[in-house]
């Protein structure tokens, strides 16, 4: 019998559980960041499969944003990466960055809370600290940018409402969606979340910036305060 913590090769997994096959069947959005990196890496190293190497890379360099900030040489220096894999990873992240600043007709459009959650859910649901982000939208609800505004402790993030609108005003955004995570994994809005939402909506009315929703991200789930009528009435 194999030990519970034994390292398995990707090929040891059932076909339906392998990252490449899951992407083909369910779409890229269904994979974790580590699994997406595993597809780029293709193979692991002794003692770690490709998914585990991807997870270590995210941990050591500070997530996707950290990999993006890291130099090519720093990525190369990670155990099991090397020049070819580092180039593939940096190229993939750069394509994602260019998509975010693509021509307006190529930008993702938010039609629903599900669309908004899909922009950040897989990353934010794995965070061990609380973080608040703002999605900036144009008049057609196309995404202008997603900005991290606050990074807090595992229990709270102290928020000044005015800070949420600085980027919106600077980018001439027509509307925003506020998103934060609960590191506990339970996305149930707290009374503080509702009070913050009410304050954000009131500030948006004064600044003529629409507040379309406030999402709370949990582990594999999210809650739309707008859908629940919390803070928007």
pLDDT digits (tens, 9 = 90+) for 116-145: 998 888 788 878 889 999 999 999 999 998
Residue with token string 């919106």: 168
Residue 152: count other Cβ atoms within 10 Å of its Cβ.
15
**CA–CA distance from 182 to each of 1, 61, 127, 207 (Å)?**
38, 22, 9, 28
The model's confidence at residue 89, banded by pLDDT at 50, 70 and 90, is very high
Q: From the centroid of its chain, how far is CA 74?
A: 23
Cα-Cα end-to-end distance for the chain: 58
Query: Does residue 156 carry a pLDDT above 60?
Result: no
**pLDDT given for residue 5 in this prediction:** 43
- Interval 179-201: pLDDT, tens: 999 999 999 999 999 999 999 99
Residue 137: count other Cβ atoms within 10 Å of its Cβ.
25
Query: Does residue 4 carry a pLDDT above 50?
Result: no
Domain range annotation of the chain = 10-100, 105-224
User: What residues form DSSP beta bridges with 48?
Assistant: 45
Distance CA 123, CA 81 (A): 22
- Interval 28-75: pLDDT, tens: 888 888 899 999 998 888 888 888 999 999 999 988 878 887 899 999
CATH code given to domain 10-100 = 1.10.150
Q: 29: exposed, middle or buried (C-beta count within 10 Å: 0-12, 13-18, 19+)?
A: exposed
Radius of gyration (C-alpha) of the chain in whole angstroms: 19
Which option is the CATH number for 105-224: 3.40.140.10, 1.10.3720.10, 3.30.70.890, 3.90.100.10?
3.40.140.10
Q: Which two tokens stand for residue 42?
A: 């293709």
Residue 33: count other Cβ atoms within 10 Å of its Cβ.
17
**pLDDT given for residue 129 in this prediction:** 87
143-151 β-sheet, strand order: 143-151, 131-137, 175-181, 210-217, 222-224
Classify strands 210-217 and 175-181 as parallel, antiparallel or unpaired: parallel
Name which residue leads in pLDDT, 62 or 10. 62
**pLDDT given for residue 56 in this prediction:** 93
Q: What is the dihedral of CA 37, 43, 44, 49, to 10 degrees?
A: 80
- Interval 28-37: pLDDT, tens: 888 888 899 9
Distance CA 30, CA 5 (A): 24
pTM above 0.85, yes or no: no
Name which residue leads in pLDDT, 212 or 100. 212
């Amino acid at each position: 019998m194999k030990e519970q913590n034994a390292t398995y090769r990707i090929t040891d997994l059932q076909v339906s559980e392998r990252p490449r096959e899951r992407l083909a069947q369910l779409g890229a959005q269904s994979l974790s960041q580590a699994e997406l990196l595993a597809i780029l890496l293709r193979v692991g190293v002794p003692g770690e499969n490709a998914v585990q190497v991807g997870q270590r890379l995210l941990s050591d360099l500070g997530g996707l944003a950290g990999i993006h900030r890291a130099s090519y040489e720093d990525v190369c220096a990670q155990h099991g990466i090397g020049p070819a894999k580092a180039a593939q990873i940096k190229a993939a992240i750069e394509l994602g960055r260019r998509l975010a600043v693509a021509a307006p007709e190529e930008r993702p459009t938010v039609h629903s809370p599900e669309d908004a959650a899909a922009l950040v859910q897989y990353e934010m649901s794995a965070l061990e600290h609380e973080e608040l982000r703002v999605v900036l939208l144009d008049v057609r609800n196309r995404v202008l940018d997603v900005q991290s505004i606050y990074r807090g402790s595992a229990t709270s993030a102290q928020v000044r409402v005015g800070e949420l609108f600085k980027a919106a005003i600077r980018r001439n955004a027509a509307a925003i969606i506020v998103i934060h995570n609960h590191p506990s994994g339970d996305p149930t809005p707290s009374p503080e979340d509702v009070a913050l939402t009410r304050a954000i909506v009131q500030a948006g009315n004064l600044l003529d910036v629409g507040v379309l929703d406030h999402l709370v991200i949990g582990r594999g789930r999210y809650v739309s305060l707008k859908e629940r009528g919390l803070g928007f009435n």
